[in-house]
Amino acid sequence: MDHSTIVAIATATGGAIGIIRLSGPDALVIADRVFRSAKGKTLAQEVPYRLCFGHVIAPSPDGGEELVDEVLASVFHAPNSYTGEDCVELNCHGSRYILQRVVELLISSGARMAEPGEFTKRAFLNGKFDLSQAEAVADIISCYSAATHRLAINQMRGGVSTELSRLREQLLHLTSLMELELDFSEEDVEFVSREELRTLAQTIEHRIDHLAESFHTGNAIKNGVTVAIIGAPNVGKSTLLNALLKEEKAIVSDIQGTTRDVIEDVIQIEGVTFRFFDTAGIRKTTDRIEQMGIDRTIQTLDRAQIVLLLSEKGIDFPHLQIPADKTVLRVVNKSDITHPQNSFIYNKVSPGGYIHISALTGAGMPLLTRQLVEAAAVPSVSGNEPVITSLRHYQSLILARADIRRVLEALQQQVPCDLVSQDLRQCLHHLAEITGGEITSEDVLGSIFSSFCIGK
């Protein structure tokens, strides 16, 4: 582990106050080189976890000193700090110039610039929390709704970690029983019946399966339910996107092939987050650029959860292959032209499963949004329920589930204990990857924390 002292601005620029954070073994010494307490004390002499008033001083061109800013400093002694190291935070005025100047002074005094997420990475390495809790810090910073906030807070407080700890205890108990029999195999002693072992393994499989299945909900809450708007050119896909977002996000034109790329935006409808993708119109074309847009439409279709299949007269694409796992809502647009006198068509789904709307006038949009929320089927979650939101966690759970299923199959087939134990150890390994219990690779940690902002 790197034991240098790191520094970074920990707040967004443009506010009235800006906080500069120092962490490392020399944090107090380095901060003392630029900070002068109004009481004349060093930071080591100041009462920790309290704000003390002072000044940041820099060398002046004439060989003296000049005042950079009046600040409030706070000291946090190891191990009782966010990172588990000695920390100093300087509350400065929020000027971009002042903050940058203070950081430069601290770097010239012995600190180095922190990498993205390095403060939280150090907190993890120093045992302040496990890896899943560390990742939740980034989720808290980026949360945009009450639901995403609840999930992030639960994970940071150890909701997922607690559940994984229970699973680990059960797995260790199962492993110990298997290996105990292995130790006494020559004496033909059975400490526990195969049926009891299978029941315990089934319980573990059920809990792993439940956690893995929660990823559908967690991913929808965190990243939004993906919705692809698919249709031929000029059926009103961009107009529909604008109507859903209530802003002019996409260019609308009578010229076919206007949309050459996928346009993406996020909106909440009745508390559910949707991620809409307006795509290029599907048709046969010799235009190479337009064809690239159509190819991207097909790619978007593959990763969407809901497909809004848009047409003018309720005519689907006979050649368009929509995967069976997609929820398809068939939407007929421009119904204000085709049914100018029939306002009742906007109130219910018509025979054939068509939702009639006019994206231009807004007619039928309430029905469409209700159908979207129903199709999303995102259940509400409590703040205490462990829900998986990370793809990394989900992939580890899928591998752990495969391991425990091999254990169940081996127990059913009376496979020797030593072979079953190998799968149990693999299951433990994959669960430990989630909390970081067995992660030591700097490449893996660097990949995880690189998405954090500098200063966190």
pLDDT band at 109 (very low <50, low <70, confident <90, very high): very high
Which residues on neighbouring strands pair with residue 112, listed in sequence order?
A: 6
pLDDT computed for residue 287 by the predictor = 63
Work out the average pLDDT over 69-86.
Answer: 96
Torsion, Cα 20 26 29 30, to 10 degrees, reads: -50
- Strand locations in 65-198, DSSP E? 65-76, 87-93, 112-113
Distance of CA 55 to the CA centre of its chain: 39
pLDDT tens sequence across 281-298: 666 666 666 667 666 777
pLDDT computed for residue 312 by the predictor = 81
pLDDT computed for residue 255 by the predictor = 46
pLDDT computed for residue 260 by the predictor = 45
pLDDT computed for residue 230 by the predictor = 84
Residue that is written with structure tokens 């966690």 in the block:
393
CA angle 226, 232, 233 (to 5 degrees): 105
What are the phi and psi torsion angles at 264 (to 5°)? -125, 140
Judged by average pLDDT, the poorest of 137-141, 159-163, 284-288, 368-372 is 284-288
Would you say 90 and 19 are in contact if contact means Cβ atoms under 8 Å apart? yes
Range from 16-25, 351-360, 384-393, 440-449 that averages highest in pLDDT: 16-25
pLDDT computed for residue 96 by the predictor = 94
Minimal CA–CA distance to 123: which of 109, 108, 137, 110? 137
Would you say 230 and 308 are in contact if contact means Cβ atoms under 8 Å apart? yes
Judged by average pLDDT, the poorest of 141-150, 214-223, 421-430 is 141-150
pLDDT computed for residue 160 by the predictor = 86
Minimal CA–CA distance to 350: which of 375, 367, 369? 367
Would you say 334 and 231 are in contact if contact means Cβ atoms under 8 Å apart? no
pLDDT computed for residue 253 by the predictor = 47
Kind and range of the H or E element at 72? strand 65-76
Would you say 332 and 355 are in contact if contact means Cβ atoms under 8 Å apart? yes
pLDDT computed for residue 444 by the predictor = 53
Work out the average pLDDT over 408-431.
Answer: 84
Supply 402's token pair: 């495969």
Q: What does the alpha-carbon distance between residue 330 and residue 327 come to, in Å, rounded to a whole number?
A: 10
pLDDT computed for residue 249 by the predictor = 56
pLDDT computed for residue 210 by the predictor = 92
pLDDT tens sequence across 364-412: 899 999 999 998 888 766 666 788 988 899 999 999 999 999 989 988 8
Domains, the chain, with CATH or none: 6-130 (3.30.1360.120), 139-219+390-436 (1.20.120.430), 224-376 (3.40.50.300)
Supply 416's token pair: 């020797």
pLDDT computed for residue 186 by the predictor = 56
